[in-house]
Amino acid sequence: MKSWAIGLIGLVLMFSSCSEVPEKEPLVISVDPWVGSAPFYYAHARGWLEEINIQLILAPSIGENLRIYESGASDMFTATQHEYFVERKKYLDLIPIIHYDRSFGGDMVMSNKTNDELKNSSDVIHLYIEPDTVNEEMANYWIADHNISKKRLRIHSRVQDEIVKMKSDPKIQMVLVTYNPHNFVLEKQGFHEIESTKNDNYLVIDAVYVSASFYGKNKETLNKLSQTVKRAMRVYDTDPKEFYEKVKPYFGNPTYQEFVAMKRNVQWFQTPPPPKLTQRMNAIGFPTKDLIL
């Protein structure tokens, strides 16, 4: 009897070892270099994303982030409402699921002239933007806000890696659309801020986007992602220096003072956004019904 029992136990162990459930493939999120996305970098650095089976790809620019998603290398991506509306034309079931920040000075228009000089001149304005990104939105805000004739504009398409290398030429009127942390470099190269998202007319929000079908299959993990991002935000609230030490390599190692200055230019959301902001999002056709709150 004893030998029969031992044999049965061995048989059960053999079958159980052969029928182990294979590990689930990690979900992949691609994120561009933007101070508002710092909670994702912090969670990655601490290993928190790995704990919930999520891998992070750090894209060098907004445009490259979209290409990573379009290639199928990532399952979800971070972006502003502008990129969402562009991508939704290709992916009809694309939805925002985690709205984590609003730019509040972090996106900006810079120039080697003042707004008055640009408005009062009849000279050509050389406008540099990263195409098919929120740079276009910012440029349009600035053009409308300051009554700039589009006939005067000569638009140059550049990725941010190229824009950040530009130097002021005093002989021509130059306007660049950029965002933190690139402005620190551009300030040293002869440019200054002439507008930013601190102006209420300039609405820029950031979210995580996925297909509706992907969301339906991965709700549990995506809910964990939302909670993990909020957990990282709380670390900044209680210990900003420790937070900075973990994320500074993702931004090219800015000083602590520079990082804190960048952080002032975004509003993170650990709770549902204020009703006024929700109304503005609805007004531009940005869906809020699937947001994880």
Confidence check: pLDDT of 133 > 90:
no
Confidence check: pLDDT of 129 > 60:
yes
Percentage of residues in the chain with pLDDT exceeding 90? 78
Least confident of 153-157, 165-169, 201-205, 220-224: 201-205
CB 1, CB 10: distance < 8 Å: no
pLDDT confidence of residue 250? 92
User: pTM for the complete prediction?
Assistant: 0.81
For residues 178 and 193, what is the distance between their CA atoms, to the nearest angstrom?
A: 10
pLDDT confidence of residue 23? 73
Q: Is 37 exposed, middle or buried (0-12, 13-18, 19+ CB in 10 A)?
A: buried
Q: What is the pLDDT of residues 235-273, one digit of tens each?
A: 999 999 999 999 999 988 999 999 999 999 999 999 888
pLDDT confidence of residue 14? 37
pLDDT confidence of residue 7? 39
pLDDT confidence of residue 273? 84
Residue 188: band (very low, low, confident or very high) from pLDDT cuts 50, 70, 90: very high
- CA nearest neighbour of 39 among 179, 246, 204, 202: 246
- For residues 124-140, average pLDDT: 93
- For residues 69-75, average pLDDT: 97
How far is the CA of 283 from the CAs of 88, 278, 280, in angstroms?
A: 17, 9, 5
- CA nearest neighbour of 46 among 218, 232, 252, 255: 232
Across the chain, what does the average pLDDT equal? 90
Confidence check: pLDDT of 112 > 90:
yes
Q: What is the 3-state secondary structure (H, E, C) of 170-200?
A: CCCEEEEEEECCHHHHHHCCCCEEEEECCCC
pLDDT confidence of residue 293? 78
pLDDT confidence of residue 181? 83
pLDDT confidence of residue 2? 33
